[in-house]
Amino acid sequence: LDESSDGEPELSSWVLDLLRRARLPRRAAVLQRRAYRSARWAARPLERPFRSVGPIILRGPRLALENPVARTIGAALAIVALAATAALGVWRLGGLLAQLGWGEWGELMSSAALTFVRVMGAVIVSTAWALPAGVVIGRSPRIARALQPVIQVVASFPAPMLFPLVVLLFERIGIGLGLGAVALMVLAGQWYILFNVISAVAAIPQELKDATAAFRLPRWTRWRKLYLPAAAPALVMGWVTAAGGAWNGSIVAEYIQAGGTLRTTRGLGSLISDATAHANFPLLAGGIALMSVLVVGWNRIVWRSLIEWARSRFGYAQ
């Protein structure tokens, strides 16, 4: 039986207990109070002038917005400013894109296709380990209490800082950056899937867990009938954010400086980075615009449909 089927456990955290017993947080609190008192003492000469003009600064905008004429004029000016800024941006972007030839557009399309394949590969590889790991952690409060603080600390470490080390490691074992970029994208997006699955499995109603225990369902049947369907909506949301992280990571993963040598592989991220390095603004604008269209279009057409299907098919309300 799962450890979570014996009833709701008492919530606890060994990290919180450790911090409560440690001296460093208490010492930091004392230093914070001293710094606050010192800042108040240093700012005391300025308190009287600010106290006199404070009501004007705080109440002036509110009084102005309470006037319907001033409110209408302000809203109109804001809309005009936004529209003018957007029109100027579109005009400048169109001017840059018009400088690109058919050969450059073909290079953009082929590079985008390669990066798209890498992004989807990174999502698949991340799911292959994060889905079972998330189910195991989420269904057991004891494992979650032990591992979640460690995972959160590891996940908070910036993934691009590890990229050079991973690239050098792959180079030693004979893996090129074309395939190694997928692993770098996994580092950039895997945690989104893991945390989404953990939270979804941990939120399974206790009644459903008790029912699987009462009917003595085999382990694989519990995974297939309870845990995986419960994790499906959160898994799709994890795919969305993981794919976004992989697209962002492609800028560095496909064009990276490691061991004093620049290493590149063909892709949209590499093309954008190279255009930035050589101040090729038309190609840079085309790469960013194409990546934006791909990401937004895939989110609207594919991910949104999968999210709606998962919620309607596996939601608890059904």
Query: Please, what sign has the CA dihedral across residues 41, 42, 45, 50?
Result: negative
Q: What is the pLDDT of residues 62-80, one digit of tens each?
A: 666 667 777 788 789 989 9
Query: Shortest CA distance to 194 belongs to which of 162, 150, 224, 254?
Result: 150
**Which helix (H) or strand (E) covers residue 45, if one does?**
helix 44-66
- Structure tokens of 309? 């299907």
Beta bridge partners of 261: 258
Alpha helices (H) along 140-280: 141-156, 163-172, 177-202, 206-214, 219-222, 228-253, 268-277
Which domains, from first to last, does the chain contain? 14-87 (no CATH), 100-314 (1.10.3720.10)
Specify whether the CB–CB gap between 163 and 256 falls below 8 A. Answer: yes
3-class DSSP state of 25:
helix
Q: Is the pLDDT of residue 244 over 70?
A: yes
b/e sequence 39-70, b meaning 16+ C-beta within 10 Å: eeeeeeeeeeeeeeeeeeeeeeeeeeeeeeee
Specify whether the CB–CB gap between 268 and 108 falls below 8 A. Answer: yes
β strands within 17-165, DSSP E: none
The residue among 52 and 96 whose pLDDT is bigger is 96
**pLDDT > 70: percent of the chain:** 88
pLDDT at 92: 94
List Cβ neighbours of 140 (8 Å cut-off, separation of 6 or more): 2, 3, 4
Which pLDDT band holds residue 260 (cuts at 50, 70, 90)?
Answer: confident
Q: Is the pLDDT of residue 155 over 80?
A: yes
The model's pTM is 0.77
Nearest 5°: CA angle at 317, between 315 and 318?
75
Q: Is the pLDDT of residue 232 over 80?
A: yes
Residue 149 burial (10 A CB sphere; 0-12, 13-18, 19+): middle
- Structure tokens of 100? 């690109």
Local structure of residue 225 (DSSP, 8 states)? I
Which pLDDT band holds residue 257 (cuts at 50, 70, 90)?
Answer: confident
Q: Is the pLDDT of residue 318 over 50?
A: no
3-class DSSP state of 66:
helix
Cα 288 to Cα 68, 80, 92, 189, distances in angstroms: 42, 26, 14, 20
Which pLDDT band holds residue 4 (cuts at 50, 70, 90)?
Answer: very low
